[in-house]
Structure 1
Amino acid sequence: MIKLDRFDGNNFARWQDKMIFLLTALTIYYILDPDLLPIEEPVPNDDGTQPSAEAIDKVIKEKKKRAEDELLCRGHIPNTLSDRLYDLFTEMKSAREIWTALEFKYKAEEEGTIWTLKWLIQSPCWNKSMNCKS
C-alpha cells in the first residue's frame, strides 16, 4: 500500500506527482482525464433488432466499473489533503472537479512563486554588491 503525506497547500507539484503515481498504480487515474468519454449505450443492430444481451451486459459492467473507479478516485484525493483543505474540497461531487480546482488554485500559486523568484534573481537588487534604492 502507498501512503502519501497530506497536502497542506505547499509543494503542490510534488504532491500531484505522487498522487498521479498512486492513482495510476490503482488503475483509476483515467477518471481524471478531461477527455474521458461517457460510456455509450448499446445501439440497435443494423437490421433494427435490439442489442444483444452480451452488449447490454458489457455496458452495464463498464458503467459499474466506472462508478466504482470514480468513487475510489473521489475518496483517495480528499483523503490525502490536510483537514483544512479536506473541508474546502469535500463538497465537490466528482474526482475530476476536485482535481481541477486544486490544479487551478495551487498550480497558479506555484507558477506565480516561481515567476517571482526568477524575477528577483534577475533583478539588479538581488546582487548584494549593488546599491539598490527603492
Structure 2
Amino acid sequence: NVKLHQVDKDSVLWQDMKETNTEFILLNLTFPDNFPFSPPFMRVLSPRLENGYVLDGGAICMELLTPAPSPTLTRVYVCLREAWSAQPWGQGRICRKAGKSKKSFSRKEAEATFKSLVKTHEKYGWVTPPVSDG
C-alpha cells in the first residue's frame, strides 16, 4: 500500500482533504506475475472518492494502468508519478453522503469496473464514451 499525502493544492480534492481532516489517500498496488511487462493493478482503498477518475470499487481510470497493445516495461515509480499527476483525479471528491462515505471500496468491484473501463477504452480510445455505454 502507498499513502499519497499531497495532491494539487488548487484542487477541490485537496480542499476536501483539509475539510475532512484526511491526511492521505491510501492506494493499493497488486503486481501480476509478468510484471514489469504488464502494469500493476492500482486502486484507491480510502477515503471513498466519487466522480472523476476513481470509479466503483476504487478502480482508477488511467491509460498507463491498462494492458498496452505492445508490452512495455512498467515501473512502479512511473505508475505512482502518473497517479500523482492525474490529480485532482478528474475533479474527484471525498464522498460525504451518509452511510456511503463509510462503505469501503472492494477489490472485486474495482476489478470488475476496471475490466469494463478497459473494454470501453479499447472500443473508443481514450475519449469520454457515450453515456449509454456506461
Bucket of the pairwise TM-score, normalised by the shorter protein: under 0.3
The structure whose residues are more often helix, as a share, is 1
| Higher Rg of the two aligned structures | 1
The structure whose residues are more often strand, as a share, is 2
TM-score (norm 1): 0.24
